[in-house]
A and B are shown apart, each in its own frame.
Chain A
Amino acid sequence: MESPARTFAAHAARGELAHQVDAAGLPLWPPQVRGAGWRVSDGHGTVHATTTVRRAGEDPQDLSLVDLDEGVRLMSRVVGMAPEDVRIGMRVRLAWDGEVPVFVQDPAPGAGAP
């Protein structure tokens, strides 16, 4: 049996955010043994819940749960903006911090319609 975490990491190394589906085709997260197949997310999602983590001696950081459009919810971080400005319901898209999936606001703040 191959480690589900290793399969995820192999996708991530290629810049792909992969998740599993179960035997009925329903999306699964996190990667786990009962997964019945893998899908690659298109990287779009919505902030479901958010907090700003304040550690002594560090800059505040966002911590959010993001609902991918494919139907999985994962813990992540919204970057590229002040953590206090992250809002529930905000649209986000995948970015990478190394091989760790993070998210940015979509469209980017200030990017107005043409």
Chain B
Amino acid sequence: MSGAGVAIAGAAESDAGQVAPGLTPTDLMAQASLRALEDCGLDVGDVDGICAASTQLPWASLNLAEALGVHPRMGDSTMAGGGSPIVHLAHARAAIARGDCEVVLIAHGSTQRSVGRENASVQEVSPWEAPYRPLLPISAYALAASRHMHEFGTTPEQLAAVAVAARAWALDNPRAWTHGKGPLKVADVLQAPRICDPLGVRDCCLLTDGGGALVLTSAARARSLRRPAVHVLGVADATTHRHVSSMPSLTRTAAVESGRRAFAQARLTPADVTCAQIYDAFTITPILFLEDLGFCAKGDGGPFAASGAIAPGGRLPMNTNGGGLSYQHPGIYGLLLLVEAVRQIREGGHDVVVAHGNGGVFSAQATAILGSEATA
């Protein structure tokens, strides 16, 4: 099995929300990295591989190596949008399995709230889309939502249920940006100002600063460290396009492919998953991914979300920190998906947790299946 023998040994988040003035994305990556190393009891000197991504840093892995004083043997700044850290997980696992390196840091940092999104996440607009002035990325997700509603009868109320569930989780999480804001009702989501129909303000993720880091190493070494090893049972990515006008199907994403391969590596099925961290940049995104990953049939994502299945007390606890919609969304959310998946295995009593990342405009999909010691 290609995933055998590699595990997440340490995991941590940086400061988040709105960080202290003057802090940079590299500062947040370095802070999270030092915390993740402390988490597992390793030292900066043990690190020989660095993967990093930030919408603000095209050369992110070099920035982090410099900030930590590490001269890595393996570096990777692959940019695949919000799911980049899960792509990094795939690359780092392969590098460790090949013997290229032994201890890899995977990190992300963003100060998009502090510096303004227009400065933090420069959108590369296609010349074939620019004349029509799409508001990216939301317009692309709105187009997909319109198509999903047309094909499957998905309703604005079902979209809203995703945001309502996210807020319910955030109310239990003191670190959540919306922790003190009280519950969100379906009517609140529907009555919020529209931006790109059918999506309104409350259908959109937060814009916060933040970051995180993971320490990846062999399962054998991870078992010798201070925290329970979280095993990488499967991880795969797949890409279909860069711009929404080239998306092969607006209602079926490359998560079909990334999920299929990740589950095959793990020799598990969606029925084995008891907790899911699924990228929720907009309310429509997890609806498509729940379908594409096989948690419900194609077209049933709306009713699945509205049934309460993903909310506290539901049969598939999803985005248990509050998600990008109600916890934090520092530009690239994939790293925080993985940190929360690790937390659910260490502290939440779950043995198999899926973390699914999305990049661009449904463009690049990356699925990780993480497991407890019982699954290894």
Contacts and interface: CB of A to CB of B under 8 A. Distances in A.
Contacts of A5: 127
Contacts of B98: none
A61 B126 CA distance: 19
Given A54-B193, A75-B244, A100-B132, 17 more contacts: A30-B126, A30-B245, A30-B246, A49-B146, A49-B150, A51-B142, A52-B194, A53-B133, A54-B194, A63-B132, A65-B245, A74-B245, A75-B126, A75-B128, A75-B129, A77-B132, A89-B150
B133 A29 contact: no
Interface residues of B, number: 28
Nearest to B146: A49
Contacts, number: 77
B92 interface: no
Contact of A63 (B126, B143, B150): B143
A26 to B, nearest CB: 13
A65 B244 contact: yes
Contacts of A49: 143-144, 146-147, 150, 250
A61 B135 CA distance: 11
Most-contacted residue by chain A among B132, B139, B150, B195 (CB, 10 A)? B132
Given A52-B196, A53-B196, A100 B131 contact: yes
A52 B244 CA distance: 16
B147 to A, nearest CB: 4
Nearest to A8: B128
Contact of A55 (B127, B135, B246): B135
Contacts of B199: 51
Interface of B: 126-129, 131-135, 139, 142-147, 150, 193-199, 244-246, 250
Contacts of B145: 51
Contacts of A100: 131-132
Closest 5 CB pairs of A and B: A51-B142, A30-B128, A49-B143, A75-B245, A49-B147
Contacts of B135: 53, 55
Nearest to A51: B142
Nearest to A52: B197
Nearest to B130: A75
Given A30-B245, A53-B133, A65 B143 contact: yes
Interface in A47-75: 48-55, 61, 63-65, 73-75
A50 B149 CA distance: 11
A15 to B, nearest CB: 16
A76 interface: yes
Contacts of A64: 143
B147 A53 contact: no
A48 B147 contact: yes
Contacts of B244: 65, 75
